Structures are given as structure tokens and as C-alpha cells.
Amino acid sequence: MALVEAKNVKKVYEHEGRSLEVLRGINLTIEAGEMVGVVGQSGAGKSTFLHCLGTLDIPTSGELFVDGSDVTKLSGARLADLRNRSLGFVFQFHHLLPEFTAVENVFMPGLIQGKRRRELEARAHDLLTDVGLGHRLHHRPTELSGGEQQRVAVARALLLNPKLLLADEPTGNLDSKTSSQIHELFFTINEKHGTTIVVVTHNAQLAESMPRVVTLRDGRVESDVQTGVTRGGTKPNAPSEESASS
């Protein structure tokens, strides 16, 4: 079974007696282990769809299966359990707690669930090392650069071993070099942990370097392309610079 399956997913918001149809029938399947970029103009429904995938919002109609469960039919408690069990989130704004260190920010979700601090601290240490911040464990967010804060946010999202990592404009506040580093980090996570990753982005370079790109337009899937791009932004059988110049 696919990790994500959307069947005619629609989302309508009611405001002051008016209906605003944001998603107009999304049909999409994402297999476990895929990396997918979701692009489109502002208002196309990208973030709304991502929030539905993350059960932060519920579709008005249609079916949306995430890790085998139709989220449109789950109670609030079961939705919370699904989020804790299967989902990780990375947003444009890091949402780090300023009074806590990097390692404390990472293991905080586990503490909230009542897990043992000693075990959580060890895992947070390992995750921060994996994202290149093993030397910044005890620095607070104000002592970290924007890129470092986003790495902390990524490590936090991975704490509970999610099957699906959802990222909403994760490089929106970062310069091009740091954006590339975050993108490379996503590839590392995908390869090392097999985590399925869905990234909503306006960053054309980031989108073009994803193995699969889904374009939304007016609340529907306009195109769904397997780019063939691999880590490093290259396509299979693409000529190297040396061979191209010879």
C-alpha cells in the first residue's frame, strides 16, 4: 500500500457566508521512500494540501490515506496518534523555543509524550551530529545562524522516526548556499533512514533537483513528473562536463 493516497481530495473554507474552494479534487499517490517537490503559484493550494497530509487540516471531502489510515474518518485522538507515530514537520519558520538549547529543542517532543529524557537526549545528540551540529548541541537559537536553526528543526522532526517528513518552504528564509545545504540534508535523510519526504517550495532550484515534481494549479494537479534527478542534481546517463566538452 502507498504511504500517501489522495482520492478526489477537496478543501473548502467558509468565510462570512462565502465558500472558498482551495483544493478542487486532488488525486495523488506517494510511495514509501520517495522524495517529492510540490510547486505552483501562490494560491494554488500547496500549503493547504501539505497541511491536509499532516492532519493539521482535514479535507472537506474525498479520501486521504496516510500510512494506511483515512484521515477524514479519524477522531482527534487518533489523528494525534498518527502525527506522533508517522509524521514529522519542518516549516519556513523554525519555531524553536528560545530558552532551550539545540539538543533540548530536539528532544522536547519526546518529553511531551512522556518518554525517558536520558534516551531522548542520546538520540537528539546523534541526530544533531547527523545534521552537522554536533559542535553546537548546547547553543540556544539566538546563538545559531538561520541555516543552523533549520537543521535543528529538521533533527527535531526526525526524533520520533517519522515515516513521512513534510517540509513547507524550508529554505524560504535562507540564502542560496544554505538552501543547497538543506536540500543536500534531505537527500542524506532519505538515503540513510528511507524517510519519505514531501517539500512544498517556491525555490525553483530546489524543486528542479527533486526526483519527482508535482505542480498544482487552481487546486488541482496540473502535472506530475519523474525528473530522474539523483543526488547532486544530476540525471542518470547525463553527460559529465568533461565528456560534454570533448
pLDDT single digits (tens) 171-181:
777 777 777 87
Selected residue with higher pLDDT from 130 and 175: 130
Q: Where on the phi/psi map is residue 114: left (φ > 0), alpha (ψ -120 to 50), or beta?
A: left
- 79 is in which domain, residue-wise? 4-245
At 32, the pLDDT band (50, 70, 90 cuts) reads: very high
Residue 221 or residue 201, greater confidence = 221
Average pLDDT over residues 115-136: 89
Output the pLDDT for position 137: 93
Q: List phi, psi (to 5°) of 78.
A: -75, -30
Which CATH number fits the domain that encloses residue 56?
3.40.50.300
CA dist., res. 3 & res. 65, Å (int): 8
What are the pLDDT digits (tens) for 82-114? Answer: 888 889 988 877 788 999 999 999 998 888 888
Average pLDDT over residues 31-47: 91
CA distance 6 to 215: 15
- Percent of the chain having pLDDT more than 90? 43
Does 37 have pLDDT greater than 50?
yes
Query: Residues 201, 39: contact at Cβ < 8 Å?
Result: yes
CB burial readout 99-135, b (16+ within 10 A) else e: eebbbbbbbbbbeeeeeeeeebbebbbebbebbebee
* Average pLDDT of the chain, as a whole number: 86
Per-residue pLDDT at 216: 94
Number of structural domains in the chain: 1
Cβ–Cβ under 8 Å, residues 36 and 214: yes
pLDDT computed for residue 241 by the predictor: 40
